[in-house]
Structure 1
Amino acid sequence: MTVSTTSARRLRLPEMTSSAFLIIAFLSGIAGALQTPTLSLFLTTEVKVSPFMVGLFFTGSAVLGIFVSQFLASWSDKKGDRKSLILFCCLLGALGCVLFAFNRNYFILLLIGVLLSSFGSTANPQMFALAREHADKTGREAVMFSSILRAQVSLAWVVGPPLAFALALGFGFTFMYCAAALAFLLCGLMVRAFLPSMPKARIKSAATLQAPRSHRRDTLMLFIACSLMWAANSIYLIDMPLYLVTELHLSSKLAGILMGTAACLEIPTMLIAGYFAKRLGKRFLMRFAVICGVIFYISLLFTTGTVMLIAMQLFNALFIGILAGIGMLYFQDLMPGQAGAATTLFTNSTRVGWILAGSVAGLVAQFASYYAVFYAALAMVVLSVICIWRIYEPK
């Protein structure tokens, strides 16, 4: 009886840990989804700064986030317990939310708030890195498990933005940022109570963490490709609402319908891609994704009807869903033994994409038109096709 009870407990523990990973992925996604969509509105209406200062804030946040996350990723891969790092990042993320809730000084928010938020946003990629290590250690199917986790984050981004605007406009930004802080604290409690502790073993040689030379070249190609793909998607998110209203003279609500449709389709796309990744290979799926991206952005140049714009979101979802679900795993395969650095490198490709998108979309729209911006997005996807086709399948 005692033996059977012990065995049952051992069987339940991995399931409890897996469930905790899913809940933490959703909560960390909610924490980010409550802050990012409303940030420009917060800076404009509450902090009362110019559009230029809003742009500077986003750029500064992206650049600082890259440095902080890469530093923490390198440190976590070499030494330290990743679980403790995730808990530390959740606590700093909560402090950052409290600062945004009660402070309205632009420079304090830019210098201190962005730094704290950068630590908070690093909790998510570190959680994915720990999930990969946990899956490898316990013999779980790493691709499918990571795809389900990524789908949880996408689900949070379906729920989070409408909730963020409802809280901010209905109860005020102070209440909304306190809710985000609560999400971070709940995340921290879940991490402390349920995630596995996997301290790094002492490394005898720095060469242990060096990927093969061919993989380093492929990793660079993949980073460039992912950055360009995220930049194209960010250009679309920035430009589409303005293009619909000013040039197609359609309802602004259509932008929300288009983005919501794509977000909903991305979730099953990630799960299906995770299921077929082992059978078809990650390189094949990434190639398929960029081809879908080319089809989507070419279609945007020739489509003006509401029904067709909605129908085209299938290609957009295939493009972004596979990128979000498989791209991170591709980095991890190309950088064996460096799960933290690989996951963070993928996350930083989204930040580089936002930096590129902000400058390109603004310049092209200023001197040409909102329609012309989609040509720039198409050019980025075509360049990413070239990069993806030069990457070998990791073994």
Structure 2
Amino acid sequence: MAQETTRRTPRLARALIPLGLLFLSVGISTALVGPFLSLFLSTEVDASPVMVAAFLVASPVASVLGSTVIGRFSDRRPIRRLLLIAGGTAGLIGTGLTAVVRDYWILLGLSVTAVAVAGSLFPQSFAYARQVLERDAPDKVALGISGLRTVFSLAWVAGPALAAVILGAGGFTWIYATAALMYGIAALIGLFWLDEVPAPAVPQRSAGDPVPLDELETPRWVLLLTAGAFTLMQAPLTLSVQAMPFFITDELHGRVNTAGLVLGLCAALEIPLMLALGALSTRVRLGRLLFAGALSGVAYYALIAVSTNIATLFGGQLLNAVFISAISGLGISYMQEMLPRHPGRATTLFSNSFPLGAMLAGPLLGISQQFGYRLAYVLCAFLCFAGLVVLLLVRRAR
């Protein structure tokens, strides 16, 4: 047993190191482009507000649909490494052409095709990591997934600041060229550094017949309700960030740059907390950690909804970081455990909850603009609580 563990450790390291670099590359590419997409469309492409809104809706919808199709296909055969290479190549093409193209309709076409395919890199990378961890370190799956999710968070901590520097030096051409370079690196890592992992073994029925490949281990209604619960809890992540600058200036009469300090503190706390929760998952059941994190989210948003000073915002970021770390870091493993033979489909179900939650946050922000930005955090608390209730009811029903 000791010799087997010794043999597994170097193989695991050889797989996780390139995966970490792949996550870093994909994270930086999305962090460079995402925060400035509306500005790019408005200033460089001269798109109208309606055209910008249509672009911002069509892009995540195409990404969700593309990732869903690829996720279903990825579990049928041992081709996940090829899908990672294809996703990196699609991102290279999409962002590379965006660096030089300024026609709205061509850019929209690229967004719903090449960039949408590149969106599958996130769930497929986690699905690949799940298979590697189950093969080489089955007792550390949640820890490994949380560690890789931390790398993605690190990329988002550095990415927007890096984008601001690049934007000042070379404009959006350099922004998208750098993103294309990152996607190209991701494709090369998959091509030269990753090995293909076999598809999960097909179990046998008691009569000896193999279980059909499309037969899910968890009822479909349970999966959909669980994904819906994560969507409800992911929506506050977007809504609270979008509302924060307005809440600080309009409700608390503070300075707008305080929002950056508050959000930066939360991001700094998320990274060690993701690792800590991942390590804790080896001793505490994943569901309990996830539910405790969701409760932290309810407490945080309720606290901000009644806050009257800036100090409360800073003090509440520990609760916020626990919530984000639990949902973003452990939620992936939670869904994957529900579909052990379909890691691609499971991870896609979870990852799709973020763009769907972001789409839900848009109209809620509009309502908050009409009735006060404090309402945004009341809505966040309600959404988080509703998601937690759905998770608990579904788990009890199972």
TM-score category, normalised to shorter length: over 0.9
Structure 2 counterpart of 1:299: 303
The aligned runs of 1:194-213 (5 Å cut-off) are 194-200=193-199, 207-213=212-218
2:376 counterpart (366, 373, 388): 373
What's the counterpart of residue 58 of structure 1?
56
SS at match of 2:120: helix
What is residue 161 of structure 2 aligned with on the other side?
A: 162
| Aligned match of 2:385 | 382
Tell me, in whole angstroms, the C-alpha distance in 1 between the residues paired with 2:228 and 2:274: 21
Q: Distance in 2 between matches of 1:186 and 1:162?
A: 20
* 1:356 and 2:360 correspond: yes
Q: 1:142 to 1:11 in 2, by over 3 A?
A: closer
| Alignment-derived partner of residue 350 in structure 2 | 346
Deviation at 1:205, TM superposition (A): 6.0
Name the residue aligned to 2:283: 279
Give the match for residue 3 of structure 1. none
Matches within 5 A, 1:1-395: 12-140=10-138, 141-200=140-199, 207-213=212-218, 215-362=219-366, 364-392=367-395
With 321-330 and 11-20 compared, the bigger mean Cα shift is at 11-20
Once the two structures are superposed, residues 273-332 of structure 1 have per-residue CA deviations (whole angstroms, 9 ceiling, x without a partner) of 111113221111111111101111111112132222111111111111110111010100
Structure 2 gap ranges (5+)? 203-208
Instruction: Note if contact 2:62-2:113 (Cα within 8 Å) is conserved in structure 1.
Output: yes
1:186-232 Cα deviation digits (max 9, x unpaired): 1111111111212448979673442345x534322321111011101
CA distance in 2, matches of 1:260, 1:229: 21
- TM-superposed deviation, 1:8: 9.7
CA distance in 1, matches of 2:318, 2:28: 24
Judge conservation of contact 1:295–1:315 (CA < 8 Å) in 2. Answer: yes
* 98-107 vs 126-135, which moves further: 98-107
CA distance in 2, matches of 1:201, 1:304: 53
- Identity across aligned pairs (percent)? 31
Q: Secondary structure at the match of 2:227?
A: helix
Q: In 1, distance between residues paired with 2:215 and 2:7?
A: 38
With normalisation by structure 2, the TM-score equals 0.92
Quick check: 217-226 or 342-351, which moved more? 217-226
User: For the structure 1 residues 192 and 328, does the alpha-carbon distance in structure 2 shift closer, same or farther, using more than 3 Å as the test?
Assistant: same
What is the rounded CA distance, in whole Å, between the counterparts of 2:238 and 2:70 in structure 1? 26
SS at the partner of 1:36?
Answer: helix
What SS does the corresponding residue of 1:278 show, helix, strand or coil?
A: coil
Separation of aligned partners in 1, 2:216 and 2:172: 45
Rounded to whole Å, the distance in 2 between the matches of 1:228 and 1:44 is 30
Q: What amino acid does structure 2 have at the position aligned with 1:160?
A: G
- Residues 211 and 334 of structure 1 are in contact (CA less than 8 Å); yes or no, is this contact kept in structure 2? no
Q: 1:50 to 1:162 in 2, by over 3 A?
A: same
**Structure 1 residue 379: Cα displacement:** 1.6
- Describe the shift of the 1:93–1:205 C-alpha distance in structure 2 as closer, same or farther (beyond 3 A): farther
Which moves more between the two structures, 153-162 or 45-54?
A: 45-54
1:77 Cα deviation after fit: 0.5
Q: Residue 37 of structure 1 aligns to a residue in which SS?
A: helix
2:205 alignment partner in structure 1: none
SS at match of 1:279: coil
- C-alpha separation in 1, matches of 2:49 and 2:394: 40
Change (3 A) 1:27 1:278: same
Aligned-residue offset at 1:343: 0.6
Kept in 1: contact 2:217–2:340 (CA 8 A)? no
Deviation, 1:16, is 2.2
Q: Which amino acid aligns with 2:256?
A: S
Q: Distance in 2 between matches of 1:309 and 1:109?
A: 39
Q: 1 CA distance for matches of 2:262 and 2:107? A: 32
> Would you say the 8 A contact 2:299–2:381 is kept in 1?
no
Taking the aligned partners of 2:365 and 2:8, their CA distance within structure 1 comes to 53
